[in-house]
């Protein structure tokens, strides 16, 4: 196995060759997360168990809350049905109202079909698609019987009709690296315009509550490999990642891996970028919108 130091060096050189000395930091206080299903989800996923839906605004209250907050965009999400899809298509009237009010919309969609994508694409600006290329992970984490080919087909349809940012959760299978590199290989073949990484968070009350996040070296290896494999596309480190000391060290490694954007960066990463003398661009919306 190649030394991490060598991988980071390659990734950094590729970043320097293909991008200017600018990094983006996103502080998404202008984006409000909305749930179309309240706290309900049919899957009870091993890493989430509906926990993250509890912090989202129910769609029935959304327009009032958005106005009070002065929001400019929304993350449209919610729990999935038994087939792994978020029910966006049946909420077309609601999405149309948000669009008419000039809110920018990023959406989680799950495993939607081609007809549903056609409907969704009328309203959303971007789609965040969780791409998983490991059959065991799909079954164990999501409790789904879907195949890797189902994810590939859904991504192909999304890519053809929307602006889609595949999301790769590093360590999704209880902190284990399982399928992340295969996902990169598949995306290299299918085409990708931007890539978002998040990192598994052990969450209280879930099946994976007692698991550990992936090691920092493992995460850095995935990020550096992505930079080397995709030298020309923007790569982001998203908001879902462990906090505390882990986050501080992770964000610093992400910069060294050639990342283009970090959501709510930790102080060590900010300090390092300042020491490099790089220009910092700040955004106030979801990372795939700003």
| pLDDT tens for each residue of 174-192 | 999 999 999 999 999 999 9
The predicted-structure confidence for 87-107, as pLDDT tens digits, reads as follows 988 888 999 999 999 999 999
Which helix or strand (DSSP H or E) is residue 236 part of? strand 235-237
Q: Which two tokens stand for residue 222?
A: 């995935």
Confidence band, pLDDT 50/70/90 cuts, at residue 163: very high
Burial of 198 (0-12, 13-18, 19+ CB in 10 A): buried
Longest dimension (CA), the chain: 54
In this prediction the pTM is: 0.97
SS3 131: coil
The predicted-structure confidence for 34-74, as pLDDT tens digits, reads as follows 999 999 999 999 999 999 999 999 999 999 999 999 999 99
Is the C-alpha dihedral spanning 89, 92, 98, 101 positive or negative? positive
**Percent with pLDDT over 70 in the chain:** 100
For residue 159, the 8-state DSSP code is: H
Distances (CA, A) of 182 to 168, 212, 248: 11, 22, 27
The domain spans of the chain are: 4-283
Question: Top-level CATH class of 4-283?
Answer: alpha beta
Cβ-contact 250, 259 below 8 angstroms: no
The predicted-structure confidence for 253-266, as pLDDT tens digits, reads as follows 999 999 999 999 99
């Amino acid at each position: 196995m190649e030394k991490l130091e060598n991988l980071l060096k390659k990734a950094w050189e590729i970043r320097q060759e293909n991008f200017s000395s600018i990094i983006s930091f996103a502080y998404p206080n202008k984006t409000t997360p909305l749930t179309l299903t309240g706290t309900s989800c049919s899957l009870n996923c091993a890493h989430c168990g509906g926990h993250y839906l509890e912090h989202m605004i129910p769609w029935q209250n959304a327009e009032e809350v958005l106005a009070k907050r002065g929001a400019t965009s929304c993350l449209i999400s919610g729990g999935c049905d038994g087939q792994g899809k978020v029910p966006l298509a049946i909420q077309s009237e609601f999405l149309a109202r948000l669009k008419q009010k000039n809110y920018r919309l990023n959406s989680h969609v799950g495993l939607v079909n081609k007809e549903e994508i056609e409907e969704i694409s009328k309203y959303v600006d971007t789609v965040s698609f969780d791409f998983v290329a490991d059959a065991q992970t799909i079954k164990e984490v999501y409790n789904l019987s879907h195949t890797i080919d189902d994810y590939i087909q859904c991504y192909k349809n999304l890519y053809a009709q929307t602006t889609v940012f595949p999301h790769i959760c590093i360590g999704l299978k209880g902190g284990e690296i399982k399928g992340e590199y295969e996902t990169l290989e598949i995306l290299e073949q299918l085409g990708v315009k931007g890539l978002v990484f998040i990192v598994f968070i052990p969450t209280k009350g879930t099946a994976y509550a007692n698991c550990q996040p992936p090691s920092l070296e493992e995460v850095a290896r995935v990020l550096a490999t992505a930079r080397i494999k995709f030298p020309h596309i923007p790569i982001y480190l998203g908001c879902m990642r462990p906090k505390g000391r882990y986050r501080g060290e992770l964000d610093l490694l992400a910069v060294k891996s050639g990342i283009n954007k970090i959501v709510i960066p930790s102080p060590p990463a900010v300090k390092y970028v300042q020491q490099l003398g790089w220009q910092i661009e700040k955004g106030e919306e979801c990372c795939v919108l700003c």
